[in-house]
A and B are shown apart, each in its own frame.
Chain A
Amino acid sequence: MTCIPAATERSLGLVIDLDTCVGCQACVTSCKEWNTGGHMAPLTDMKPYGGGVDGVWFNRVHTLEHITDAGGRTVHFPRSCLHCAQPACVSVCPTGASYKRTSDGIVLVDEDKCIGCKLCSWACPYGAREFDVDVGVMKKCTLCVDRIYNEHLSVEDRVPACVAACPTGARHFGDLGDPNSAASILVEERGGVALMPELGYEPTNRYLPPRARSERAPKVAAAALEDAAPQGGFLGWVDRLLAR
């Protein structure tokens, strides 16, 4: 049923550190690689080798510039499903294909029930859902349900593919409903924020804002390079000889 559960036992989600994300796209490709063979497979690509390439991705990294009085800063911004507590994408679904799990709060699509009406993608303010024109159904981030509970994987690998791939540790996975989880503590320490809170979707994922500028950085620009000073000795003789 597409009614939203009043509460979930856990609220699994991601914490994304905008301070350390370097925009390398490793999470994007890793997500695609895992999920095109995973729970919501395939993540179809249309015309992948020509012009007009288009395809389904669960995770996309935007590059933004944040301009404040302190100056401009480049921010790489990964965008994926936030597994909201009030996911309107679920309540608008006419078929029951979209659902939010009471056990862990993950928002999923049952591909066998989806009629491809696209209304859920309109209801999502974050653009988390992408339509697969080839299969005719809506697709979205599964928080790697087929990894995080997968007993065939070693324990340290039971995290979403994007988290496992991140080379700078900018992505964290955990239970954001538990205030004592490592993810929740990190959010608390770094002042993590929810996206578009004014719309009332109550997203689970949190974004850690970039840290304040470091005071250790040089405040004065280095002096410009000057011509090499004339030297005596052998090198001075070579210099004079070659300068003729």
Chain B
Amino acid sequence: MHPAYSVIFFTTSTGAGYGLLALLGLMSLLGVLPAGLWPVLAGLGLAFALIAGGLLSSTGHLGRPERAWRAFSQWRSSWLSREGVCAVLTFVPGTLFGLGWIVTQRPEGWVAVAGGGAALGAVATVYCTAMIYASLKPVAQWHSRFTLPGYLIFAAMSGLVLLNAVFAVFGQAASILSIAAAVLTLAGWAWKRATWQHDDALNLPATANSATGLAGGRVQSIEWPHSEENYLLKEMGFRVARKHRDRLRLIAQALAFAVPAALLAIAPLLPVPAAVAAGIVAALCQIAGLLVERWLFFADAKHTVMLYYGRT
């Protein structure tokens, strides 16, 4: 599948943003957010910046972005529409949470509840994003039991790594956050490796025989209907990243998982300025790695229409 830059950026950015928002909201509901204006406000600011930036970029791949508002209408059947609705609804408790924090600076009462609501909305939005892909039957790599947990784990993981970095910058560095972020990063790594192992053994969900109704024997393409690349080949027959798959997988694993996990694990042992730097580098490194991972998520995925072209 063709990896549109806007969609890669959108899913990575909103995943991290919603992960961060969900963790802040959950911590407020549990009453464990550090008191004081700036650490939490900066975390919320970063979360909203990532979410808003991602949502804006997602309109970049639309043919008619001026009609994007129509996408809120079909929530009864469409995961894409549900994602849009959830994304907008999450801004309501999210904004209340932020305003409440500015006023009270304490995770208590209605502020804590608003935080809980924002966390719920964030999880629901990432759930919908994952289901957009997980519900597409023609793409076996997406229509898989690994897709939904993957999106949720990566959102929580990148959100926690960002939370750790933000709190460290504002003097609230906590060993437990750093260690938890390292553990979640390792969990994400394990999940991605399991996903790739599963995907590599996958076949297309149909065969050239069933695609053409020609039973038995072997069906091969001897002539395409057109001499140049058409929309289907450009969109569904994308092959560039597949060529470099193994190398890109190594890069993604190093940047998204190995390096951040190592930095986060040793950060509590370092003096404060170095620990802060380690937290920041881990977060930036992981986002870069997740962008590569997301690129592969699209570029590695194979669509059944290529059965007609013999390009699988």
Contacts of B210 in A (CB 8 A): 195-198
Contact pattern, B 212-238, Cβ under 8 Å of A = 1, otherwise 0 = 111111111111111111111001100
Q: Is the CB of B214 within 8 A of A66?
A: yes
Q: Is B1 an interface residue (CB 8 A)?
A: yes
Q: Is the CB of A63 within 8 A of B64?
A: no
CA distance A61 to B139 in the complex (A): 23
Q: Is the CB of B217 within 8 A of A116?
A: no
Q: Is the CB of A94 within 8 A of B214?
A: no
CA distance A201 to B137 in the complex (A): 10
Q: Is the CB of A53 within 8 A of B78?
A: no
Q: Is the CB of A92 within 8 A of B80?
A: yes
Q: Which of A59-85 contact B (CB under 8 A)?
A: 60-69, 74-75, 77, 79
A side interface size, CB within 8 A: 70
Q: Is the CB of B74 within 8 A of A95?
A: yes
Q: Is the CB of B308 within 8 A of A54?
A: no
Q: Is A119 an interface residue (CB 8 A)?
A: yes
Q: How far is the CB of B65 from chain A (nearest CB, A)?
A: 7
Q: Is the CB of B219 within 8 A of A137?
A: no
Q: Find the residue from A69, A90, A121 having the highest chain B CB count within 10 A.
A: A121
Contacts of B229 in A (CB 8 A): 52, 54
B side interface size, CB within 8 A: 58
CA distance A195 to B212 in the complex (A): 6
Q: Is the CB of A2 within 8 A of B219?
A: no
Contacts of B223 in A (CB 8 A): 62-63
Q: Is B166 an interface residue (CB 8 A)?
A: no
Q: Which of A11-29 contact B (CB under 8 A)?
A: 18, 28
Query: Which B residue's beta carbon lies closest to that of A207?
Result: B213
Contacts of A64 in B (CB 8 A): 212, 214, 219-222
Q: A114-B64, A118-B61, A195-B210 are in contact. Are A125 and B137 (CB under 8 A)?
A: yes
Contacts of B72 in A (CB 8 A): 94
Q: Is B132 an interface residue (CB 8 A)?
A: yes
Q: Is A7 an interface residue (CB 8 A)?
A: no
Binds B, one of A126-134, A162-170, A172-180: A126-134
Q: Is A122 an interface residue (CB 8 A)?
A: yes
Query: Which B residue's beta carbon lies closest to that of A134?
Result: B63
Q: Is B70 an interface residue (CB 8 A)?
A: yes
Contacts of B74 in A (CB 8 A): 1-2, 93-96
Contacts of B35 in A (CB 8 A): none
Contacts of A28 in B (CB 8 A): 225
Q: A1-B76, A195-B211 are in contact. Are A125 and B138 (CB under 8 A)?
A: yes
Q: Is A199 an interface residue (CB 8 A)?
A: yes
Q: Is the CB of A199 within 8 A of B67?
A: no
Contacts of A132 in B (CB 8 A): 63
Q: How far is the CB of A209 from chain B (nearest CB, A)?
A: 6
Q: Is B77 an interface residue (CB 8 A)?
A: yes
Known: A92-B135, A125-B205, A127-B305. 7 other contacts (CB 8 A): A18-B213, A64-B212, A75-B212, A75-B219, A94-B78, A95-B71, A125-B206
Write 6 A-B pairs (CB below 8 A) sorted by A numbering. Answer: A55-B230, A92-B78, A114-B64, A115-B64, A122-B236, A127-B236
